[in-house]
């Protein structure tokens, strides 16, 4: 029997990627979809690349009956829009994977500070699990509410986790430079993402106050057992999809390059979507495009005593929809790779 799935907020890039990937999932049937802007119309009106592959009329996002007959609902909504819906789904016994920010932060004070909203149901935060399978696999398997991580945090946390869990770096001087394709900014056009402004350009944005910062710091602090603050600077680059984070950290002991590679290889040996690269084979966004892989290369710079970690992923797949499906697989006792075990698109 197939898992009956619904997607709320299906019109965006993330919703479209969920549709594309779930259509090929051997254990899933997409039963419902909903949005504000396309309610009453076929989903292919906003996702014409899926014409002939799916026929589904969208519900209104405020429908009280959306969850009926479903086993799992994916929420691909702006922050503040998921909380009440998650409450309804949870009470109906429907599993929820929230691709937004409403359940990523465990502190209601942090949520209020960074998102300028009061959390309506803080008691549900204790019921939710941060959906990074490489770190929280066992908890995800038992959860009914999963907070799917952001794309920047996924690339960064996975890049640093082996070092933090082994207490190998100075926690007071972590610097992160990340670059994302334009789809990471969402489908709504802005001056910043308008073609004449973005083409042939590279820009930093939300320097020092990006909303993924508390999410990254929360998870790095949990991994290390010590409160961590970071310097995080995101950039937009003129390509459709892809993300590359370069992370700098001071070591507390010297490494050989082979020792560092072995540390990462051992840490992620049971993680099918992590590929460890090396100094002569540094990750590139092209090598993960369209896939659920995260490629990581740790490099020890003996001259400066720093480790430089290069981490790449597709922001719409491992950074969003693919990871959401990876989480769903774990929640329903399926093979972790089901429906998302395929190669990147190259060139």
DSSP 64-93: TTTTTT-SEEEE---TTSSHHHHHHHHHTT
Strand-by-strand arrangement of the 128-130 sheet: 59-60, 28-35, 3-8, 72-75, 95-98, 145-147, 128-130
Residue 153 to residue 132: CA distance in whole angstroms: 10
Contacts by residues 142-147 (CB-CB < 8 Å, ≥ 24 positions apart): 143/95, 143/331, 144/90, 144/93, 144/95, 144/96, 144/331, 145/86, 145/90, 145/95, 145/96, 145/98, 145/103, 146/95, 146/96, 146/97, 146/98, 146/324, 146/327, 146/331, 147/98, 147/102, 147/103, 147/104
CB atoms within 10 A of CB 62: 11
271 is catalytic: no
Active-site entry in 5, 73, 129, 151: 151
Please name which of 289, 126, 116 lies closest in space to residue 209, comparing C-alpha atoms.
116
Q: Is the CB of residue 15 less than 8 Å from the CB of residue 100?
A: no
- Classified as helix, coil or strand, 281 is coil
Q: Is the CB of residue 50 less than 8 Å from the CB of residue 23?
A: yes
Q: Is the CB of residue 156 less than 8 Å from the CB of residue 218?
A: no
Residue 93 to residue 24: CA distance in whole angstroms: 26
Identify the DSSP state of 48: G
- Catalytic residues, by residue number, are 151
């Amino acid at each position: 029997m197939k898992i009956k799935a619904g997607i709320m907020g299906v019109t965006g890039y993330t919703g479209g990627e969920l549709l594309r990937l779930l259509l090929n999932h051997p254990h899933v049937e997409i039963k419902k979809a909903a949005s504000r802007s396309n309610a009453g119309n076929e989903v292919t009106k906003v996702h014409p690349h899926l014409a002939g592959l799916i026929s589904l009329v969208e519900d209104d996002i405020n429908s009280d009956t959306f969850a009926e007959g479903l086993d799992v609902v994916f929420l691909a909504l702006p922050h503040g829009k998921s909380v009440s819906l998650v409450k309804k789904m949870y009470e109906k016994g429907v599993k929820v994977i929230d691709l937004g920010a409403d359940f990523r932060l465990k502190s209601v004070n942090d949520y209020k500070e960074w998102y300028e909203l009061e959390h309506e149901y803080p008691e549900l935060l204790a019921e939710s699990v941060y959906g990074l399978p490489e770190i929280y696999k066992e908890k995800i398997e038992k959860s009914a509410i999963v907070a799917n991580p952001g794309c920047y945090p996924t690339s960064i946390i996975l890049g640093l986790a082996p070092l933090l869990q082994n207490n190998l770096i100075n926690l007071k001087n972590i610097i992160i430079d990340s670059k994302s394709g334009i789809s990471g900014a969402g489908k709504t056009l802005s001056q910043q993402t308008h073609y004449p402004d973005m083409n042939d350009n590279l820009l930093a944005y939300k320097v020092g106050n990006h909303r993924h910062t508390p999410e990254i710091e929360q998870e790095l602090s949990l991994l290390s057992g010590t409160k961590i603050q970071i310097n995080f600077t995101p950039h937009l680059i003129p390509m459709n999809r892809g993300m590359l984070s370069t992370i700098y950290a001071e070591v507390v002991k010297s490494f050989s390059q082979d020792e560092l590679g072995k540390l990462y290889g051992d840490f992620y040996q049971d993680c099918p979507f992590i590929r460890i690269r090396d100094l002569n084979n540094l990750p590139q966004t092209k090598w993960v495009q369209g896939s659920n892989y995260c490629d990581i290369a740790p490099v020890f710079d003996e001259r400066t005593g720093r480790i430089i970690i290069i981490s790449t992923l597709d922001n719409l797949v491992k950074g969003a929809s693919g990871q959401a499906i990876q989480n769903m697989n774990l929640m329903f006792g399926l093979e972790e790779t089901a429906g998302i075990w395929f190669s990147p698109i190259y060139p």
